[in-house]
Amino acid sequence: MDIKDLLNPEGSGDDQKKESPLKSLEADLKFYNESLKEVAIEIMVEGISAYPIFVAHQHVLSLGEVILDKNDLNTDWSIHASTLEEFKEKGLILPDKADKFLKQYKDAYHYMCVFVIVPEGANFVFFPYQ
The three-state secondary structure class of 94 is coil
Please give the pLDDT value at position 19: 64
Low-confidence ranges of the chain (pLDDT < 70): 1-19
Sign of CA pseudo-dihedral 61, 127, 75, 17: negative
User: What is the DSSP-derived secondary structure letter of residue 18?
Assistant: P
What does pTM read for this prediction?
0.83
Distance CA 53, CA 61 (A): 15
Domain boundaries, the chain: 1-6+46-124
The answer to whether 61 and 82 are in contact (CB under 8 A) is: no
The length of the chain, given as a count of residues: 130
Q: Which amino acid is at 55?
A: V
Please give the pLDDT value at position 8: 44
